[in-house]
Structure 1
Amino acid sequence: MDGLKHNLLNIIQLCDKGFKVIFEASHCIIKDIQSDKTIFMGHRCDNVYAINISKYVGYDRCFSSMHDQSWLWHRRLGHANMDLISQLNKDELVRGLPKINFQKDKVCEACQMGKQIKNSFKNKNFISTTRPLELLHIDLFGPSRTPSIGGKSYAFVIVDDFSRYT
């Protein structure tokens, strides 16, 4: 979020990692479920619960961003591949693009999900219908580049599953 001056904690991720989060009118408490030990305590400021991290210096906690600058720019540029971003950087084609090393050292979950494909349906070797017009396969497509003899650019195709009449 542009202009956000504070780090935000994701409550769902805390719960998934084995923490209990308790909200009350004036404060919130984050506890470890297994040991019932209070990990953090925050106070309410207007409509936000704030945790003062400097109080917890002695704890072994890591508060760092999961994404470095190269992956931030990967997302900003529409999930462009790192070779393309390196080329853009080398040729100075994008204003504000920092001079950093763009290499694919991690896997982008959004890119991975976008590249996954669904398996096609298995072919049926039998006719599952018992009479004509019980099941119709219908397709409307167009506009096609080449119009029909009558000058039409769209086509409506109906195939009867039982007789295969088109």
Structure 2
Amino acid sequence: MKGRRQEGKLYVLQGSTVTGGAAVSSSSMSDSDVTKLWHMRLGHMSERGLMVLSKRGLLCGQNTGSLEFCKHSVFGKQKRVSFTKVVHRTKGTLDYIHSDLWGPAPVPSKGGAKYMLTFIDDYSRKVWTFFLLQKSDVFKTFK
């Protein structure tokens, strides 16, 4: 969608409006089409919920029918699956090392370093921090 800026912060959208026979006319639509339309308008509401609204007269007097399969409803109702908690047991120092590379820094250090490399031993929680001039120095530092 595009808009054209006019005075101040006012934008006018460029496009066309659907009118006449091309607009949705519920009188010429079947019950299943009306149901599908309201299902999408109301954020993929369930068939039972649409029937309740229809019985209460909240859908402008339109009758609803049965819904077809809607993949968007299925995806929308899915919930995120959390990651399983991994338990790793370290038996000694340097068994399991966490590392992180940060950078490039917006302002280099006094020594000209733009990157910071950290290693953390999982067993002892000892931390080593290295300041690097280039990202390519990571492997040399690790060795």
TM-score w.r.t. length of structure 2: 0.39
- Specify which structure has the bigger relative contact order, considering alpha-carbon pairs within 8 angstroms and separated by 6 or more residues: 2
TM-score w.r.t. length of structure 1: 0.34
The structure with the greater share of residues assigned to helix is 2
Quick check: which has more Rg, 1 or 2?
2
